[in-house]
Chains A and B, each alone.
Chain A
Amino acid sequence: MSPDSSPVRLHVVTGKGGTGKTTVAAALALALASDGRTVLLVETEGRQGVAQLFDTPPLPYEERRVAVTRGGGEVKALAIDVEEALLDYLDMFYNLRRAGRALRKMGAIDFATSIAPGLRDVLITGKVKEAVTRRHDGRPVYDAVVVDAPPTGRITRFLNVTNEMGQLARSGPIKTQSDGVMAVLRSPQTAVHLVTLLEDMPVQETADAIDELTKAELPVGSVIVNMATEPVLPVEELTRAAEGRLTGADLAPALAAAHLTGGPELAQALVAEVTEHARRWAGQDALRDEVEALGRPTIELPLLTGPMDLGSLFELAARLEDHLRTEVAAA
């Protein structure tokens, strides 16, 4: 079964700062682009993290191809520039592009986007909605759209644009626009995925975000556990090491049998490292129950030791692809 025969076409990826949500969003875009599909990866925070991941020059406000996948699929990327999006908007609804440029010189655009923090979000989500619903020759232009969204602390406010604008602009075209965006965001076409680490605070923030999203009637997708320690030892050995019961004497004979120099110091150093590895694994393992208790489909991605390059992205993408398949099969 192909990975995106699910109804979801808009994948919003959020997570606490430092959990690697940009990397996960990029890997997810690659996974969805397999088998000849076309996927748009949207960056919303203006950090050019996507360009760095794909090792391309900074992205303009324009859809650019950043990767090709097997079967002729491709990932395009777009870094949303809020000012440009507002100019687009003025042009689309009022035919005011030139006036808009003059306004920008006066600092009015900066003013308008900072005076109403929600305006920024309406413009970004408006652009995302446009990409999701864009059609050419009767077919959607993109098979899927992946959004590298703001962090968990701001995600509900970011997506809940109607509410945000309701407080500010109770009438006017922005209100109408934001209602249209909400309809897409609340539909089964959308899934908000949460990236977490197996650490206290990210797991807690993930739980909080799921509550908030649910209250706002926004569809929660999968929980993606990133940078998990993959155990190198069998579980019983790990438990013993985590309890501090592994000693140099457990390793020394085998090391000596293979004629390794270094003696007891080496055995001792290895014990220290194994103990730390085991304790890290045990600490993470304890949090797995909490992640499971969130009641969402969950996938784990390993901590990769090498540099994060296109190859590592494809490695993560392969794991996500498997997850998408089982999700679809289970649905």
Chain B
Amino acid sequence: MDTIMADKDHWTVAGRSFASRLVVGTGKYKDLETTAAAIEASGAEMVTVAVRRVNLSDRNAPMLQDFVSPQRYTYLPNTAGCFTADEAVRTLRLAREAGGWNLVKLEVLGPPPTLYPDMAATLVAAEALIKDGFEVMVYCADDPVAAKRLEDMGCVAIMPLGAPIGSGLGVQNPLMIQKIIEQSKVPVLVDAGVGTAYDATFAMELGCDAVLVNSAIAMAQDPVLMARAMKAGVEAGRLAFRAGRIPRLGFASASSPMTGLIR
């Protein structure tokens, strides 16, 4: 085993340690079989899930838990569809009862077409959830001031968007993502906007602790293959970040010696 494989480069959130720096969503897949296969291929250990009413008219409908085991993967219940602090708290209390844990993803979104994080509502909801004993990983704007406030409030991970949800545009504001990474003592994850593997690589090269991907895998023509690509992309970005990239130069610097040339 080489040194790269041997070293333990885990990241930790709320006392839980993870080897995989790719967190994946479980939404938008064409069926639960593909969901399970893609998550397996991604190597992810943490998956986001939503909380919804059981369909009473089709009670034999397959359930996510039968395909993506909560014993194997850390479920991260989200607040998708909640627009107020009360709705978020209510939803996650149910999630806590269903799953028995406190680690959650808070997201309070503004209206289409951006679905941009509603930071005013997010701050109110974060406060209410933390008061209620939740460990909050928070989806937020690429805004270092808001991110700092969320961290000071007690959020356990800061998750700025790379680009609008499902847009696949990659990290649009790398400078501010970097500022958030530099100032944060809790893990920072780029959440939303990843389109393909190099977007995940780029986010990891900025120094993120992990990347959260859903649409880019679920909506790819071959989700399982894209899940493998994302895994490789995240690993490449992390290794490159740790290795330390060369400075960008405005001129050429020859790779071969300019001495000892035959004449």
Q: Do they bind each other?
A: no
> Residues on A close to B: CB < 8 A?
none
